Structure 1
C-alpha cells in the first residue's frame, strides 16, 4: 500500500496533480449540491449520469486557466476560481430554496430594487449544510498550508495547458450531445432553467443566461414595427369575444384591487386549530354578489409579485428571467390599466407601505400612468419600527392609513392596495397572533397560517369601513393572490396540509391556484370553474367596466367569455387545463392520472396545448424585450407621458388637495369635507397604545 500512496502523493505535488484533485473535489461537491439542494426532476440512468458528469467540463475549463500561469500564482488563481464558483453555487442554493429557480443576470442587475429587508429572509433560508459547498476550497487551502501538498514551481508548458482547455471543450461537446439525445432542443425550446442545470450544469446555465441577456438587449435595439405582425396574428386568432351579459355592469364604479400577498387558494375555507382561518375572505368568496374563481392560477416567474402586477395591469407575462418591472419598467412603453382607465375619467392610485424603489415601482408606475403612488413616506406610522414587519407596514395599520388617502381620491378611481404581512418568512409578533401555527414540522410553513389569519382580519376591517362609508355600493372590489406562499421545496409539509401521504406533480400544479374574486353589490355572482390565470384579469375587468379593448395587445381573455381557451400557461412552459396538465416532465389527465403511455389523440391534444403555450409566452416576451408597444397605439388611446407624473410627497399632496375642493367627487368632499376615519375600526394593538 505504501508504494501506491507515495505515487499518488508524488502526483499531487505536481501542478497537474493538484489541478486534477481540485476538479474532482469540485465535481463531487457539485453533484452533492444538485442531489440534495435542488429539485431538478432527475429520472433514469442517462439523466443521473449527466448530473454527475456536467460539473466537469467547466471545472476543467475554468480551473485550467490557472495552468497558463507561473509558480505560486497558478495555485492561488486556482483557489480563487474555485472559491468564486463555490460562492455562486451557495448563492443559487439560497435563492432556489425560496423561489425554486436560479439566479440570472437580469435579476442581479435589479437586485437593488428588491434587496430591502432581505437580511431576515436570508437568515431563515440558510441551512448549516449549505456551507459544505466551500469544503473543497478549505481542504485545498489546508493541504497547501500544512505542506501536505507542495507547490510545484516548475513551468507548465503552454501546449499542455492548451490541451487541457481543448479537453474541456470536448467534454462540454460530449455533455451537450448526450443531453440533446435525452432532451432535444434543450437550448432553444425550454422556458425552465431547471432543465439547463440538470443537463449541462450551473456554470453552463450561467453562460447561457449571459448570452441570452445580451441577445435580449440587442433585440430591443434592433426591433421595429414589423415585429408586431406575428404578435397581432396570434392575438387575433386566440381572442375570445367578451361575455355580453356582463359587459358594462360595473360602468362608472370605483375599482379596488386588493393584493393578497402570497395567499394560495387552498386556504379558502381552510379550518385549523378548530377555527376557520380566514372568515372574512371566505365570506366574500361565497357571497351571492361575488364572482369567485376556483381554478385561477398564479403564472409568475422570477419576478413573483412584480410579474403578478405586470399581468394584472397589462395582460403581458413577466419575463423568463428577472423582473420586467425592474429591467424594462422605466424605459418601455405600456398600455396599462391605470392609463386606460385614466383616459376614461378615472383617478388612479397605488398604495404600498414600503420604499417606492422596491421592484422599481416608482418608475414603472409612471410608465403605467398612475396618478398617485402612496409609498412609505406618505404614512406617518411607517417610521415606527413596531408598526413594520418584513417587507413594509403591517397590513392592519397600512390599510387604515391608506383609507385616509382613499377618501380624498376623486371618483371614480382605480386603487391598488398591496399588502405585505403574509410574506416569507411569515413571522409576526406575539400580540398579533390569533391562531396556533400549523404542525407540519416545517419551520417555514408552520407560521404561514398565522400571517394569513392576520391578513384576513386586516381585509375584514377595510371592508367594514367601505360599508360604513357607502363606498362598497359605489365600487367593484377585486381580491387576488399574487403567487404561491409555500414553494414546492416543502413537499412533505404540503402533503400534510392537503391531507395526502405524498404529493405528485399534479398536486403541485394545482397548488399554484390563488384566490381571485370580484365583489360588487348587485353583481350576479357564484363560483366559476373556468380555468384561467393572472394574464386574464385585465380583459375581464375592462369588459365589466364597459371599456372596449378589442384592438389592444393583451394576451389574456375575459374569464367570463364563453368558448375561451382554458389552457393556462405557467411561466416555464408547463400548463394546466380542464383536460390535461403538464408539470415538470409529467403529463396527467383531468383526473390526475399520470399519462405514461399516450394515445395518438392524447399526444396530439397535448402537443397543440404546448404549441399554444410556447407561442403565447414567446409572443409576450417579444413585446417586452423589443419594447414593441412603442410602435403601436390602440384606437382612442393616448401615449403615456411619464414626465407628467410626480410622486414626491409634497407635490402629490398639493395636487390632491386641489382636487378635493368644493366640487370634488371624493368621498370626503361628499361628506361635507369631513374625514370618515372615525368610521374605521381596527383592533391593531399598536394603535391602541
Structure 2
C-alpha cells in the first residue's frame, strides 16, 4: 500500500485531497462572482446563497473522480477542474461585454466564433491566467510527485459524494425559493439563476431547458396557433387614418445602425455634435423620430433586432433564433411584401453570409437576394473589425439598389460602430471622450463615422434617382456600451446610473423618413420597441396587417398600449418601469415603494412573451395558412454571384 499512498503526506489521503480541491474551486468561483459579475445582491440571504452555491456543483462533478483508480484519479481531477474552470472563464469573457451568461444555443453558434477577432481579444485580460491557478497548482503537485497516485475507494464513496451534492443543492434551492418564489419556472433573467444557484448549476439547468424546448415542436399542433390567434385578436389596435398608406407604392430601405444608443442623438462632446446628420433628421418635416424607442434584443444582439423587425415576434430567451430556429416556417417582412406588390427583396451586409447563419435564415424569411461580403471590395484598407467599413459599404451598395426592380425592399446592415470601436486615424473626425475607459471613449468617434456614412448614403440615394420614391427606416439594433461600462457612462451622462437609468439606456433611435411631405414629421414620444416596427411600416405602405401573427402594435396608432416588454420579463411604460422585481416611476426615475397595482402590465408582458415563444419553439406558423398567401420556396433561392441579376 505504501507504493500507492504516502500516509505521512495529508495531500495523499483521498478525502483530504478531494476536500481541498473542492474548497479551492469553491473559493475561486466565489472570487470570480465578486470581481467579474454584477448580480445585484440585495440582502444577507442572497449574499449567503452566492457564497455557497458553487459547492453543490463542484462536489457533484468532482465525485466522478472517486470512481477512478490510482494515478487515473488525479488525471480525472485535472480534467474535471479544467472543464469547470473553462465554463467559468467562458462566462467571464462573455459577461464582460454582453452582461449575460453563456447558454447552449450560444455555444451552437460556432460559425460566429472565427470572426470575433479583435472583439474577443479586447475582452481578455493578462491576469485571467489566475482563473486557472488551481488547475496549474494541482498539475505541478502531481508532476513534482507531492501528490501521488490515490488508493482505490469503494463505490459508496462516489454515491456519498453525489448524495452530498444533491442534499446541498436541495437546501440551496429551498432558500432561493424563499427569496425568489418559482425561480426555475417563471424567471427569464439568467442573472437571477446564477445569483441564486451558481454558474455551473445554471449550465445544467440550461442544458435541460434547451432539450425541453427542442421537444416543443414535436408536441405542437394547429390548435396552438388558433390559441395564439385568438389572443392577438383581443389586442388588435386600429390604424391611424392620418398615416395609413402615406408611403404606398414606395421602395423601402431598412438600415440597421450598429450599436447606436439614443443618448448619442443631440449629444455634444467638447461642444461638437457627435451625430449632426441624424440630429438634423429629428427636425426634418419628412421624418418621424421616436425618442422613447427601446431595443428588445437578447443574446442574439443584431440578429435578434433583425428577428424583431422582420417578424414582429420576440427573440428567444436563450441563443439566437437565427441560429437555432432557421428551419422554422415564418411570414417575414420580405415574404409579406412580395405578396403585396413588391418586386424584389434583398439584404446587404459587408460580412460573411455564415455569420449569425444569415444565409439560411434569410431564405426562411423569403429574401430574393443576399449581398454578403462576396459582393463587395473587401480590401485591407476598406475593412476593419467585423468587415467592410460603412462608407465603402454604402457607396458600393448603390449600384445594387439601382438595379433592383421597383418597388423593392432592401435591408442594409452597418458594421463600423461595433465593439471595441476601432477606427482608422484618417476616419477620425472628432476627438475621443476622456472618461478613462478606452472603449467608451472611442465609441463617439465610430458613432460620428456612422453618422457621416448615413449622410453620404442619403446624398448618393438622391443622385441615383431613388430617393424621392423610397421610405427609409433607420434603427439602432442594440446597446453599444453594456452595464459593465457604468462608471465611464456616468461621466458621459453627468449623473449616477440607477437601475432605472440603466434601463433607459436601452433606448435606441428610430427614424422613419418618407419624402414628399406625405407625413407630418417630428418627434414622436410614444413608448415602443423593435417588435412594433413591422406593423407600423406595413400600415404606412397601406398593407392590411390584421391577419398576420404580430406581437407588436402600430407606433402611430392612437389606440396602442404603450407597454414595452423585455425578454427577461421587465417592462417600461410612460408611468412605470419594472426592473428586477422592483417598480420605478417613469416620471421621476425614483423607486416606488408603496403598493401600486401593476397586474395588467405584468400579465400583458407575460402573455406577449409566452405566446411569442410558443410560436417560435413550436414552429406554429407551419400550421397558419392565409388565403392567397404564397410562401417562398427556399429551394428556389440562390444567393451565389451568378444569380445576383436574376430578377423575378
- When normalised by structure 1's length, the TM-score is 0.91
Aligned mates of 2:462, 2:8 — CA distance in 1: 81
Structure 2 residue 474 is matched with structure 1 residue 479: yes
Shift of 1:152: 5.2
Shift of 1:385: 1.4
Matches within 5 A, 1:523-542: 523-542=519-538
Q: Match of 1:184, SS?
A: coil
Contact 1:240 1:557 in 2 (8 A): yes
Aligned mates of 2:592, 2:41 — CA distance in 1: 16
Shift of 1:11: 3.8
Q: Match of 1:59, SS?
A: helix
Structure 1 range deviating more: 133-142 or 73-82: 133-142
Shift of 1:278: 0.9
Contact 1:261 1:419 in 2 (8 A): yes
| Other-structure match for 2:3 | none
| Other-structure match for 1:662 | none
Match among 601, 616, 627 for residue 609 of structure 1: 601
Contact 1:555 1:616 in 2 (8 A): yes
| Other-structure match for 1:109 | 108
After superposition, the Cα gap between the structure-2 partners of 1:405 and 1:213, relative to the gap in structure 1 and judged at 3 Å, is same
Shift of 1:563: 2.3
Aligned mates of 2:187, 2:110 — CA distance in 1: 25
Q: Match of 2:441, SS?
A: coil
Matches within 5 A, 1:62-461: 62-112=61-111, 114-148=112-146, 150-151=147-148, 153-329=150-326, 331-346=327-342, 347-379=344-376, 381-382=377-378, 384-461=379-456
| Other-structure match for 1:543 | 539
Match among 538, 559, 562 for residue 566 of structure 1: 562
Shift of 1:147: 4.0
| Other-structure match for 1:631 | 623
Unaligned runs of 5+ in 2: 1-5
Contact 1:313 1:336 in 2 (8 A): yes
Structure 1 range deviating more: 610-619 or 261-270: 610-619
Aligned mates of 1:152, 1:587 — CA distance in 2: 57
After superposition, the Cα gap between the structure-2 partners of 1:651 and 1:506, relative to the gap in structure 1 and judged at 3 Å, is same
CA RMSD of aligned residues (A): 1.5
Shift of 1:593: 4.1
| Other-structure match for 2:582 | 586
Aligned mates of 2:366, 2:561 — CA distance in 1: 30
| Other-structure match for 1:682 | none
Q: Match of 2:438, SS?
A: coil
Shift of 1:9: 7.6
Query: What CA deviation, in whole Å up to 9, does each residue of 1:342-371 have, x standing for no partner?
Result: 112211111101111111111111111111
Query: What CA deviation, in whole Å up to 9, does each residue of 1:405-448 have, x standing for no partner?
Result: 11111111111111100011100111111111111111221100
Aligned mates of 2:636, 2:305 — CA distance in 1: 25
Where has structure 1 moved over 4 Å in runs of 4 or more?
7-10
Aligned mates of 1:69, 1:228 — CA distance in 2: 52
Q: Match of 1:54, SS?
A: helix
Contact 1:273 1:435 in 2 (8 A): no
Q: Match of 1:122, SS?
A: helix
Q: Match of 1:320, SS?
A: coil
Contact 1:116 1:358 in 2 (8 A): no
Q: Match of 1:244, SS?
A: coil
Q: Match of 1:245, SS?
A: coil
| Other-structure match for 1:519 | 513
- When normalised by structure 2's length, the TM-score is 0.96
Contact 2:471 2:512 in 1 (8 A): yes
Structure 2 residue 647 is matched with structure 1 residue 650: no
After superposition, the Cα gap between the structure-2 partners of 1:74 and 1:472, relative to the gap in structure 1 and judged at 3 Å, is same
Contact 1:14 1:152 in 2 (8 A): no
Q: Match of 1:640, SS?
A: coil
Contact 1:225 1:631 in 2 (8 A): yes
